Structure 1
Amino acid sequence: MINSIIIEDEDIAAIKLQKMIQELDSEIYITKILSSVKESVAYLKKHKPDLIFLDINLSDDNSFEIFNSVTNIKSKIIFTTAYSEYAIKAFELNSIDYLLKPIAKKDLQRSLKKIKQFNEESVPNYNNILNNKKELYKKRFLIKQNNNLISVSVEEIAYFYSEDKLTFIKLKNNKKLPLDESLRKLEEVLDPSKFYRINRKYIINITSIVKMYYSSKSRIILHLNPSVEEQQVTVAIEKVGKFKNWLVI
């Protein structure tokens, strides 16, 4: 019996994955479904599953944060992702398998066969995954504006934000550009040492922060440059701790 867990923040996706696993391989037993980094870290400090099906973007953070908190993970891991163009390259370099959402049964079957070929000695070093991934972060964006194409370096970007269900880039020169990517997708391709999603609306470059202060015991206010219409933005309460850690990386 292969004791396994699923780490996935979308309930429907987790249940569907569990059902497909049970249909394809009766030796794989799902002992737990977890939905956040915090929950997963607490579980993995006490349990050592043989196999983990790991979503990349979770409800409270990027799942790579799990490896920063639990350093002795020996489980075999099948990554799952909806946005694969950068993550997959990093995983392939380390012989990690992945499933691209929406997950097809034939792809899951391939992964299950591949993961059984690993023995304990061949479990990849997940710290190496983090190191290799740093080289694959997005460096430029190609923006279509009317009939024009504009190439923008990430070094020119102050922050990303959503407005009326659309995503925009605010450049350091105060220019605003539309972007056909969601903030959720951007979280996967931006260097987390430089960019951080402070709330549902903003992903900011650390260099864009002009001023920050507590407005209450648990609320941090930021002033950004270029300024935003509301003049200040608030770090989501559930992100305050990780935001402060990010500032001193």
Structure 2
Amino acid sequence: MLKAIIVDDESKSRESLQILLHDFVEGVEVRSLCQDVAEAIQAIERDKPDIVFLDIQLQRETGFDLLTKLKDITFEVIFTTAYSEYAIKAFRFSAIDYLLKPIDIEELKKAVGKVEKRMNGNIASRLTELVQNLKVGTSSSENYKLALPTLEGLIFIKTNDILYCEASSNYTQIYTADGKKYLVSKTLKDYEDLLSEHNFFRIHNSYLINLNSIKKYVKGEGGYVILNNDISLDVSKRKKEAFLNKIGVRNA
């Protein structure tokens, strides 16, 4: 049985989530309902939860304030939020679970299921990178870090250190500037959604490239790019025009 606490400054939200967990999610016992950071700290010390469902805005403080006041984070966190799209992307970059309000039952089940599979993972490092990504902002890709779920665990790398991503069935191979590659359990479409705002472009069904890593473009029916590591990747005929517009080239 997973022990949980709910931290939300709205009583209706706390009670609603408690009812959803009781009625629809097996194996979760809600030990405490908290309305602010002070109550949450007491509940965490007393109940030693496995999961904390944490709202972002808590009266005059935030869920991040709560986390920074704790000496050790020994529990998983699932954020409950009505936050902006940008904050949601930061959660996804950092491999942090979140639920959008109003909470969907199936999404709640999935989030708890992922926690069960991931128990004892390094939540502290994920939260650290989440806070950093939120501070950096979407305009500073140089310092933005992406969590890669590999067989060895989560690996954090700067987006600007990624040369390109290659589709591998339902997995993705990610190649970095230091010559390493990582096989991750997400599709190339997932990374296209995450990285397009960070100067990445999908030049082919199989390739998503960092436009900052292009050394040369060679003309052809679709043509191909040569990246900084001297590898050549085809540009599909269908993607050629959009790609050339993206890099500011005409009639190539």
Q: TM-score, normalised by structure 1?
A: 0.52
Aligned residue in 2 for 1:94:
94
- The runs of 5 or more residues in structure 2 that have no matched partner are 141-252
Q: Which amino acid is the alignment partner of residue 74 of structure 1?
A: T
1:48 Cα deviation after fit = 2.1
Question: In structure 2, how many angstroms separate the alpha carbons of the residues matched to 1:115 and 1:84?
Answer: 24
Question: In structure 1, how many angstroms separate the alpha carbons of the residues matched to 2:79 and 2:123?
Answer: 14
SS across alignment from 1:20: helix
* Correspondence 1:74-223 to 2 at 5 A: 74-125=74-125, 126-136=127-137
SS across alignment from 1:115: helix
Question: In structure 2, how many angstroms separate the alpha carbons of the residues matched to 1:115 and 1:30?
Answer: 15
- Cα displacement string for residues 49-82 of structure 1 (whole angstroms, at most 9, x for unaligned residues): 1001000001231110012211311211110111
- Percent of matched pairs sharing the same residue: 32
Distance 1:84 1:124, change over 3 A: farther
Aligned residue in 1 for 2:48:
48
Aligned residue in 2 for 1:27:
27
Question: In structure 2, how many angstroms separate the alpha carbons of the residues matched to 1:89 and 1:132?
Answer: 9
SS across alignment from 1:67: helix
Question: In structure 1, how many angstroms separate the alpha carbons of the residues matched to 2:122 and 2:76?
Answer: 9
Question: In structure 2, how many angstroms separate the alpha carbons of the residues matched to 1:108 and 1:70?
Answer: 25
SS across alignment from 1:80: strand
- Answer yes or no: is 1:10 the counterpart of 2:10: yes
CA RMSD in angstroms comes to 2.0
1:103 Cα deviation after fit = 1.0
Q: Which amino acid is the alignment partner of residue 76 of structure 1?
A: E
Question: In structure 2, how many angstroms separate the alpha carbons of the residues matched to 1:121 and 1:100?
Answer: 23
- Cα displacement string for residues 187-225 of structure 1 (whole angstroms, at most 9, x for unaligned residues): xxxxxxxxxxxxxxxxxxxxxxxxxxxxxxxxxxxxxxx
Distance 1:3 1:39, change over 3 A: same
- Cα displacement string for residues 113-138 of structure 1 (whole angstroms, at most 9, x for unaligned residues): 22222030343522222112112379
SS across alignment from 1:98: strand
Structure with greater contact order relative to length (CA < 8 Å, sep ≥ 6) = 1
Question: In structure 1, how many angstroms separate the alpha carbons of the residues matched to 2:37 and 2:47?
Answer: 15
The number of equivalent residue pairs is 139
Question: In structure 2, how many angstroms separate the alpha carbons of the residues matched to 1:138 and 1:6?
Answer: 33
Question: In structure 1, how many angstroms separate the alpha carbons of the residues matched to 2:108 and 2:12?
Answer: 17
- The runs of 5 or more residues in structure 1 that have no matched partner are 140-249
SS across alignment from 1:99: strand
Question: In structure 1, how many angstroms separate the alpha carbons of the residues matched to 2:28 and 2:84?
Answer: 25
Contact 2:73 2:124 in 1 (8 A): no
Contact 1:55 1:81 in 2 (8 A): yes
Greater fraction helix = 2
Question: In structure 2, how many angstroms separate the alpha carbons of the residues matched to 1:120 and 1:15?
Answer: 28
Q: Which amino acid is the alignment partner of residue 61 of structure 1?
A: E
Question: In structure 2, how many angstroms separate the alpha carbons of the residues matched to 1:22 and 1:47?
Answer: 18
Q: Which amino acid is the alignment partner of residue 106 of structure 2?
A: K
Q: Which amino acid is the alignment partner of residue 21 of structure 1?
A: L
- Larger Rg computed on CA atoms: 2
Question: In structure 2, how many angstroms separate the alpha carbons of the residues matched to 1:137 and 1:10?
Answer: 30
Distance 1:129 1:41, change over 3 A: same
Question: In structure 2, how many angstroms separate the alpha carbons of the residues matched to 1:35 and 1:27?
Answer: 24
Aligned residue in 1 for 2:73:
73
1:47 Cα deviation after fit = 4.1
Question: In structure 2, how many angstroms separate the alpha carbons of the residues matched to 1:85 and 1:18?
Answer: 26
